[in-house]
């Protein structure tokens, strides 16, 4: 019986990737994940927000056509899923000075399009690709390009939830920070080669540990040029995910908080050369 | 002093009054949740010419002899009359009432709050029905002139409730004079309200006119005189709507050439919320009648610099009461699925109630089976649903549930599927579920599961699962045996891989933990593991050298 269950599990796990195998298959528009839908149900189709969001994240009709650009209330499509994640970034954090890693002001600046101390102007686009979460490409002319891809939108994949999607905005946004200030974070797509140290993958970061309260809200972009005050892309991502898990507004649904903690902890244990640092979320099952 | 309603001869105050219906109460304050379907809306208006000593109008609504509502409204100067007369002043009030027959009295007041010495009160009787709005226009006489008039129009309201309609300067206007309109609505449901505005009827033949709408605000202008009927509809997310139709009377003004469109966006300047920057959509995220395109130069060309509209709908979320987690057979399945949906959406404040309910179902194997089936069905299709289901199963401390968790933990990592930076995405999804299953296994807190956790620490193929097994062991072992942390560490040291020793010492950042407590744990961790300190970052060759690089991207195939 166990063998049969294993077969079923394995087949189900691979369902989404096999049915759309190939790096450039289209994203799954058949459903929103439970975490996406749970968050969506707290706000519904808030017209004023998504009309703000497409400007705040500089999304263009040509990129998002057929993905909810003209159907922004259809939570199965990529653009509504994108603004659902932006909603979580914008409103979902408690901003607890005593317990949060960073504040909403930091995460918004890292993810949004506008030029700031965090990065130069960028725009958000979407790419049909099952092989990557997202990417950041500096441009010679015009705003830099932040692309998100199918694993952040396909409900069967672990990162297709609003917390992980927003976490990717932080990750790619931090590549933009490194670019703006000219830091070298490695030559493997902006990361260091792996596996090495505690990193088990081929693209790794250091975790530049800091205590809670080390950065005033709004000061996440600051660095003194040493490991004492610096961030890497995976670190910015994990800190955002842990803040969603541990310091969310009361209305953030359990499915979103659980997904945030799961993503943060698996990422923390496998992506950092110098080790996992800390875990977040409650080790109790519920 | 009110004598008839010969409107053409009056030198008076004309007081339009709209009456609406509600069956429960006239108003509701914060925290009250009346049934909106029981409400109607009422509007009273009064207009007149010679205002003399009048500063405001007090509208009193009587049900029989009982005063049910009082509203004092400042006098607005120079409201044109429907038939083109000018120089009239007036005031509007929008009042919610129970169904019934009312006597509406409009009393002109001086600036000091006492009754006017030269203008008399006007009154009218109006019947208000459930879900209907009655528009009553009163003409109030000053000195010895004048008359009175009642103008009743029916307007429907439903859930949500339109509680006010503000027309500036008024519903009496002249050609080429802009009327700004704002609808105010209320709903007990969470979520935003969507507004739509339209012209229902226009005089025949109609001249050119324009209506610009943007959310709850709109503007109207006409180049030709006549009576127009406009409509505003407000709709909640469930599609339930309320609508209000209302007249606008346009008389001949000084100009009839006013539909210039400077920015050529299809919206004439007079009603354009940003007449100099093309914005055919008339976006107004703040809802103040000023288009986003005109809100400084920060919007256009500098996206993201405008604050999103608020307050956000989630902050008004009403927590749903948890369903029971009981039953057998098919009933258990229904109950389990309902609970799963509730728990998934539950708030931070509902964590403990959820735990209590889950604990109460710990002896119910049918519930555990139903949740296990739901989890199995969701794996690979809806990851976050599977994660929630496995979390609940872990919290149950039920043998059927734990058997299922063991099966999840035992699934071999997939070898197919996309690999990103060395990470197999399907494997990561599985690892997250297995790690959560490990939390449930450890939560049984007995010698058998402790042994199982140690075996996982030693031999599970996924690093993420081994790491979680260490965390779960430390959390549950020390909970079960007071002061057992050192013993737990000793047991782990015998089983953990050499390159994963740091998982034993790493601190857990707990929800609600103070910065002082956590920072002390982090400092102790670094004392134990100085090798964890990262080297200083390295400067690159400058931002310009990054052009053409794709960070995190997969290079195109050559």
Res. B385 pLDDT band, cuts 50 70 90: very high
- Which residues, other chains included, contact A95 with Cβ-Cβ below 8 Å and sequence gap of 6+? A103, A104, A217, A247
Give yes or no for residue B84 having a pLDDT over 50. no
Q: Which residue in A has a C-alpha nearest to residue B464's C-alpha?
A: A266
Mean pLDDT of B393-413: 97
pLDDT of residue B480: 54
Give yes or no for residue B461 having a pLDDT over 90. yes
3-state SS, residue B238 = coil
Dihedral over alpha carbons B403, B405, B409, B413 (to 10 degrees):
110
Residue A56 main-chain phi, psi, to 5 deg = -60, -30
pLDDT tens per residue across span B254-276: 877 788 887 777 788 777 877 77
CA gap B461, B453 in Å, rounded: 13
pLDDT of residue B3: 30
* Interface with A, mutate which of B418, B423, B471, B505 (most A CBs under 10 A): B418
Residue A233 and residue A191 in contact, taking contact as beta carbons nearer than 8 Å: yes
CB atoms within 10 A of CB B557: 5
Residue B15 and residue B90 in contact, taking contact as beta carbons nearer than 8 Å: yes
Q: Using CB atoms, which residue from A158, A206, A270 is nearest to B429?
A: A158
pLDDT of residue B450: 94
Residue A204 main-chain phi, psi, to 5 deg = -130, 160
Residue B402 and residue B441 in contact, taking contact as beta carbons nearer than 8 Å: yes
* Token pair belonging to A199: 């990193």
Q: Using CB atoms, which residue from A34, A56, A178 is nearest to B344?
A: A34
Answer with the residue of higher pLDDT: A32 or B106.
A32
CA gap A34, A40 in Å, rounded: 10
- CA B511 from centre of chain: 27
Cis preceding linkage at B17, omega within 30:
no
Strand order across the B226-235 sheet: B172-174, B241-251, B226-235, B194-201
In percent, how much of chain B has pLDDT > 90? 29
pLDDT tens per residue across span B320-353: 999 999 999 999 999 999 999 999 999 999 999 9
Inform me whether the C-beta atom of residue A96 falls under 8 Å from chain B C-beta atoms.
Answer: no
- Give me the residues of chain A with pLDDT under 50, please: 1-3, 5, 8-11, 13-23
Query: A–B: how many Cβ contacts below 8 A?
Result: 434
pLDDT of residue B330: 95
pLDDT of residue B139: 64
Helix (H) or strand (E) run with residue B140 in it? strand B132-141
Inform me whether the C-beta atom of residue A217 falls under 8 Å from chain B C-beta atoms.
Answer: no
* Token pair belonging to B53: 């000593």
Inform me whether the C-beta atom of residue A231 falls under 8 Å from chain B C-beta atoms.
Answer: no
pLDDT of residue A16: 41
Q: Which residue in A has a C-alpha nearest to residue B500's C-alpha?
A: A198
Q: Which residue in A has a C-alpha nearest to residue B555's C-alpha?
A: A189
Residues of chain A neighbouring B302 (CB-CB closer than 8 A): 114-115
Res. B116 pLDDT band, cuts 50 70 90: confident
pLDDT of residue B151: 33
Res. B300 pLDDT band, cuts 50 70 90: very low
* Token pair belonging to A78: 């990529």
CB atoms within 10 A of CB B102: 27
- Which residues, other chains included, contact B64 with Cβ-Cβ below 8 Å and sequence gap of 6+? none
Give yes or no for residue B499 having a pLDDT over 60. yes
Give yes or no for residue B79 having a pLDDT over 70. no
Residues of chain B neighbouring A182 (CB-CB closer than 8 A): 539-543
- Which residues, other chains included, contact B277 with Cβ-Cβ below 8 Å and sequence gap of 6+? B263, B291, B293, B294, B300
Helix (H) or strand (E) run with residue B233 in it? strand B226-235
CA gap A171, A177 in Å, rounded: 10
pLDDT of residue B448: 93
Strand order across the B56-63 sheet: B66-74, B56-63, B100-109, B122-128
Answer with the residue of higher pLDDT: B235 or A193.
A193
pLDDT of residue B164: 77
* Domain residue limits, chain A: 3-271
What are the angstrom distances between the C-alpha of B460 and each of B233, B342, B468? 60, 33, 11
Answer with the residue of higher pLDDT: B501 or B269.
B501
Closest CA of chain A from B37, distance in Å:
21
* Token pair belonging to A282: 């409650």
Average pLDDT, chain B: 77
Complex confidence, ipTM: 0.94
Of B197, B255, B201, which Cα lies nearest the Cα of B223? B255
* Token pair belonging to B238: 């469930």
* Token pair belonging to B227: 């009576």
Residue A120 and residue A176 in contact, taking contact as beta carbons nearer than 8 Å: yes
pLDDT tens per residue across span B5-24: 322 222 333 344 444 333 33
Q: A8 burial class (0-12, 13-18, 19+ CB within 10 angstroms)?
A: middle
Residue B443 and residue B424 in contact, taking contact as beta carbons nearer than 8 Å: no
Residues of chain B neighbouring A269 (CB-CB closer than 8 A): 463-464, 467, 503
Q: Using CB atoms, which residue from A181, A226, A269 is nearest to B463?
A: A269
CA gap B156, B346 in Å, rounded: 37
Relative to beta strand B89-95, strand B12-20 is parallel
Q: How many residues does chain A have?
A: 286
Helix (H) or strand (E) run with residue B333 in it? helix B329-345
Relative to beta strand B66-74, strand B56-63 is antiparallel
Of B549, B424, B417, which Cα lies nearest the Cα of A191? B549
Give yes or no for residue B27 having a pLDDT over 50. no
Relative to beta strand A122-127, strand B172-174 is unpaired
Q: B31 burial class (0-12, 13-18, 19+ CB within 10 angstroms)?
A: exposed
- The dihedral sign for the CA sequence B500, B504, B510, B514: negative
CA end-to-end span of chain B: 94
- The mean-pLDDT minimum among A269-283, B281-295, B374-388, B525-539 falls in B281-295
Query: Taking every pair of C-alpha atoms in chain B, what is the biggest distance, in angstroms?
Result: 105
Give yes or no for residue B32 having a pLDDT over 70. no
Mean pLDDT of B145-157: 29
What are the angstrom distances between the C-alpha of B396 and each of A284, B331, B354? 11, 18, 11
- Which residues, other chains included, contact B29 with Cβ-Cβ below 8 Å and sequence gap of 6+? none
Q: Which residue in B has a C-alpha nearest to residue A108's C-alpha?
A: B304
Is B315 in Cβ contact with A251 (below 8 Å)? yes
Angle at B74 between CA B73 and CA B76, to 5 degrees: 120
Q: A217 burial class (0-12, 13-18, 19+ CB within 10 angstroms)?
A: middle
Inform me whether the C-beta atom of residue B557 falls under 8 Å from chain A C-beta atoms.
Answer: no
3-state SS, residue B199 = strand
Is A18 in Cβ contact with B417 (below 8 Å)? yes
CB atoms within 10 A of CB A249: 19
Closest CA of chain B from A130, distance in Å:
7
* Token pair belonging to A170: 């932080």
* Token pair belonging to B265: 């966006």
Is A10 in Cβ contact with B411 (below 8 Å)? yes
Is B388 in Cβ contact with A8 (below 8 Å)? no
Residue A123 and residue A146 in contact, taking contact as beta carbons nearer than 8 Å: yes
Is B429 in Cβ contact with A208 (below 8 Å)? no
Q: Which residues pair with B206 in a beta bridge?
A: none
Is A132 in Cβ contact with B347 (below 8 Å)? no
pLDDT tens per residue across span B404-444: 999 999 999 988 888 887 888 899 999 999 999 999 999 99
Of A190, A193, A223, A189, which Cα lies nearest the Cα of A208? A223
* Token pair belonging to B226: 């006549």
* Full DSSP string of B211-228: EEEETTEEEEEESS-EEE
Q: How many helices (H) and strands (E) does chain B have?
A: 11, 21
pTM above 0.90, yes or no: no
CA gap B258, B245 in Å, rounded: 26
Inform me whether the C-beta atom of residue A171 falls under 8 Å from chain B C-beta atoms.
Answer: yes
Q: Which residue in B has a C-alpha nearest to residue A139's C-alpha?
A: B547
Give yes or no for residue B301 having a pLDDT over 50. no
pLDDT of residue A19: 39
Is A15 in Cβ contact with B418 (below 8 Å)? no
H-state helical runs in A31-186: 34-43, 47-56, 61-64, 78-91, 104-111, 162-181
Cis preceding linkage at B169, omega within 30:
yes
Q: Using CB atoms, which residue from A190, A194, A276 is nearest to B502?
A: A276
| Helical axes B383-396 vs A254-270, angle rounded to 10° | 100
pLDDT of residue B176: 87
Inform me whether the C-beta atom of residue A148 falls under 8 Å from chain B C-beta atoms.
Answer: no
Residues of chain B neighbouring A284 (CB-CB closer than 8 A): 395, 439, 443, 475
Give yes or no for residue B129 having a pLDDT over 50. yes
* Token pair belonging to B438: 């490990």
Inform me whether the C-beta atom of residue A235 falls under 8 Å from chain B C-beta atoms.
Answer: no
pLDDT of residue B6: 27
Res. B46 pLDDT band, cuts 50 70 90: low
Res. B25 pLDDT band, cuts 50 70 90: very low
Q: Using CB atoms, which residue from B347, B355, B417 is nearest to A14?
A: B417
Residue B297 main-chain phi, psi, to 5 deg = -90, 5
């Amino acid at each position: 019986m166990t063998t049969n269950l294993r077969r079923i599990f394995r087949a189900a796990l691979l369902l989404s990737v096999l049915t759309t195998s190939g790096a450039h298959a289209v994203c799954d528009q058949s459903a929103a994940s439970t975490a996406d839908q749970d968050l969506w149900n707290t706000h519904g189709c808030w017209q004023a927000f998504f009309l703000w969001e497409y400007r705040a994240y500089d999304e263009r009709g040509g990129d998002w056509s057929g993905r909810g650009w003209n159907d922004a209330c259809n939570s199965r499509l990529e653009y509504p899923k994108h603004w659902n994640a932006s909603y979580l970034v914008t409103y979902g954090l408690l901003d607890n000075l005593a317990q949060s890693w960073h504040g909403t002001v930091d995460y918004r600046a890292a993810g949004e399009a506008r030029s700031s101390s965090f990065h130069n102007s960028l725009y958000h686009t979407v790419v049909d690709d099952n092989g990557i979460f997202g990417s950041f490409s500096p441009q010679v002319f015009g705003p830099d390009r932040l692309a998100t891809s199918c694993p952040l939108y396909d409900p069967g994949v672990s990162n297709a939830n609003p917390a992980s999607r927003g976490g990717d905005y932080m990750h790619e946004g931090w590549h933009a920070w490194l670019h703006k200030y000219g830091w070298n974070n490695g030559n493997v797509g902006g990361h260091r080669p792996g596996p090495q140290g505690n990193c088990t993958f081929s693209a790794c970061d250091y975790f530049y540990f800091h205590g809670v309260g080390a950065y005033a809200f709004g000061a996440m972009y600051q660095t003194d040029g040493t490991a004492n005050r610096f961030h890497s892309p995976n670190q910015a991502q994990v800190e955002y995910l842990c803040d969603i898990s541990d310091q969310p507004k009361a209305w953030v649904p359990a499915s979103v908080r659980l997904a945030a903690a799961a993503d943060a902890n698996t990422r923390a244990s496998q992506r950092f050369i110098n080790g996992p640092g800390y875990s977040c979320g409650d080790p109790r099952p519920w | 002093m009110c004598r008839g309603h010969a409107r053409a001869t009056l030198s008076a105050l004309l007081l339009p009054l709209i009456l609406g219906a509600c069956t429960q109460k006239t108003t509701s304050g914060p925290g009250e949740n009346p049934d909106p379907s029981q409400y109607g809306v009422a509007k009273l208006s009064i207009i007149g010419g010679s205002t003399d000593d009048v500063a405001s109008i007090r509208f009193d609504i009587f049900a029989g002899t009982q005063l049910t509502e009082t509203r004092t409204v400042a006098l607005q100067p120079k409201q044109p009359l429907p038939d083109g007369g000018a120089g009239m002043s007036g005031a509007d009030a929008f009042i919610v009432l129970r169904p019934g027959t009312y006597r509406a009295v409009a009393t002109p007041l001086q600036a000091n709050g006492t009754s006017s010495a030269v203008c008399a009160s006007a009154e009218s009787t109006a019947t208000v029905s459930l879900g209907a709005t009655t528009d009553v226009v009163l003409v109030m006489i000053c000195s010895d002139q004048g008359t009175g008039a009642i103008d009743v129009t029916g307007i429907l309201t439903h859930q949500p409730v339109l509680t006010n309609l503000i027309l500036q300067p008024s519903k009496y206007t002249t050609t080429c004079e802009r009327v700004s309109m704002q609808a105010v609505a209320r709903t007990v449901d969470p979520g935003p309200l969507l507004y739509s505005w339209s012209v229902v009827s226009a005089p025949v033949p109609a001249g050119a006119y324009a209506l610009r709408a943007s959310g709850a605000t709109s503007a109207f202008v006409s180049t030709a005189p006549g009576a127009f009927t406009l409509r505003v509809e407000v709709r909640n997310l469930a599609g339930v709507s309320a609508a209000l139709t209302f007249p606008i009377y346009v008389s001949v003004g000084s100009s009839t050439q006013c539909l210039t469109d400077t920015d050529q966006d299809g919206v004439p300047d007079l009603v354009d919320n940003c007449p100099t920057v093309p914005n055919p959509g008339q976006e107004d995220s703040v809802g103040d009648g000023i288009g986003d395109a005109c809100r400084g130069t920060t919007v256009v060309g500098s996206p993201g610099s405008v604050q999103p509209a608020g307050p956000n709908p989630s902050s008004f979320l009403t927590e749903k009461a948890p369903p029971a987690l009981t039953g057998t057979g098919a009933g258990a399945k229904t109950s389990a699925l309902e609970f799963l949906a509730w728990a998934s959406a539950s708030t931070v404040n509902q964590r403990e109630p959820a735990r209590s309910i889950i604990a109460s179902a710990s002896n119910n194997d049918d519930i555990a089976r139903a949740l296990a089936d739901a989890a199995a069905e969701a794996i690979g299709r809806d990851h976050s649903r599977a994660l929630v289901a496995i979390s609940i199963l872990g919290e149950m401390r039920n043998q059927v549930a734990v058997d299922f968790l063991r099966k999840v933990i035992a699934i071999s990592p997939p070898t197919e599927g996309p690999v990103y930076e060395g990470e197999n995405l399907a494997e990561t999804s599985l690892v997250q579920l297995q790690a959560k299953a490990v939390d449930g296994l450890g939560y049984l807190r007995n010698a058998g599961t402790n042994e199982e956790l140690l075996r996982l620490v030693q031999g599970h193929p996924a690093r993420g699962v081994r790491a979680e097994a260490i965390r779960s062991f430390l959390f549950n072992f020390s909970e079960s045996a007071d002061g057992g942390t050192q013993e737990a560490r000793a047991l782990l040291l015998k089983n953990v891989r050499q390159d994963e020793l740091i998982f034993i010492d790493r601190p857990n950042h707990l929800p609600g933990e103070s910065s002082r407590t956590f920072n002390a744990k982090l400092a102790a961790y670094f004392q134990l593991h100085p090798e964890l300190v990262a080297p200083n970052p390295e400067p690159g060759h400058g931002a310009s050298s990054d052009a053409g690089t794709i960070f995190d991207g997969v290079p195109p195939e050559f």
